Structure 1
Amino acid sequence: METRREKTSPRTRLLIGALAAAALSAGTFGAVSATASTPRQAPAAETAEAADRNVHRTRHLTVDAATRAAQAALKAARQDGRQVTVAVVDRNGTTVAVLRGDGAGPQSYESAQRKAYTAVSWNAPTSDLVKRLETTPTLKDIPGTLFLGGGVPVAVDGAPVAGIGVAGAPSGALDEAYARAGAAALGVR
């Protein structure tokens, strides 16, 4: 049996060759593209190291701890017969808890918050910061701060996590003593 071969024209052969070359090129390009677009998966340890370099971690006082500290400060003031307001702010200066004692003056609310904010901002008691005003009087111009005794920072491993401010006692020294009682209730600095 004889098979008959039809003769194809040069134009048809050229077209078939071009189509074959295009198909082969497309397959090769697709394989290279697929390989190039697949990102290399970093090992978990490498990813964790990158996260540690790019993320700053901070500690914050819990709401329960802030409430406990405020209650302890208010109790210490009550035992001395003083009417005060106690404010506890977190590391960012955001108010977490405020307790206004019976009979505390209306100005004590904002003063307590500002003392707490000042203490956490500088990680120092506000009574110490008052002394800095002698050499740097413009510190008092920073919004939200109050450079009067009565604010103490709460720190863990040397880094501030909160500030406690007390206002309303007859002196900043008494306010600070009550704020320290609040900090002592937390078992840290």
Structure 2
Amino acid sequence: MNVFEAIQKRREISHYLPKLIPTKELDQILHAAYLAPSGNNLPSREFILVTEKDSLQHLAQATPFVPWLSGAGAAIIITGRPDISKYWLQDASIASGFIWLSAVELGIGSAFGAIYHSEDQEESERRESYVREHLHIPNDRRIVAILGLGYPEKEPPTKTLLSKDSIIHYGKHGK
């Protein structure tokens, strides 16, 4: 599969088969995250792989929007380092895309669970503290997201997208 096929095939997968993900495949996904670019090549993002069922069930309670983590085969927590780079959020976001597309390449489904909340500092603090305490993440890291991983129970249908003309502009906005 090439990258364009992975992009087209990518779906939010939140229902998983009860099947273990081989370590080799998890290592490949983590290697893709490691290779993701970062501003000025600074180590502004880090990754935590979680495969223990009890831990996945605990993390599924981090927000009301990630209960599907309890059925995942693994999760990758993406942290950002504001003390290292002002681009920590962008760097972590790019790495999320690399993780997701490499999972698709391997036939593994993924879903994105936002932990960091840019518009509600109190909610962000609650979510991040919940994950931070469970995984012993230092206070100088921000917890950006959790990506759940697992073999898809079923392939969801293609989503209906807005027209390209409403999203892509050439030369100037609206032209």
Q: Higher RCO, 1 or 2 (CA under 8 Å, sep at least 6)?
A: 2
Greater per-residue helix proportion: 1
Q: Which has the larger radius of gyration?
A: 1
Per the TM superposition, whether the score is higher than 0.5 is: no
TM class by shorter-chain length?
A: 0.3 to 0.5
TM-score by length of 1: 0.33
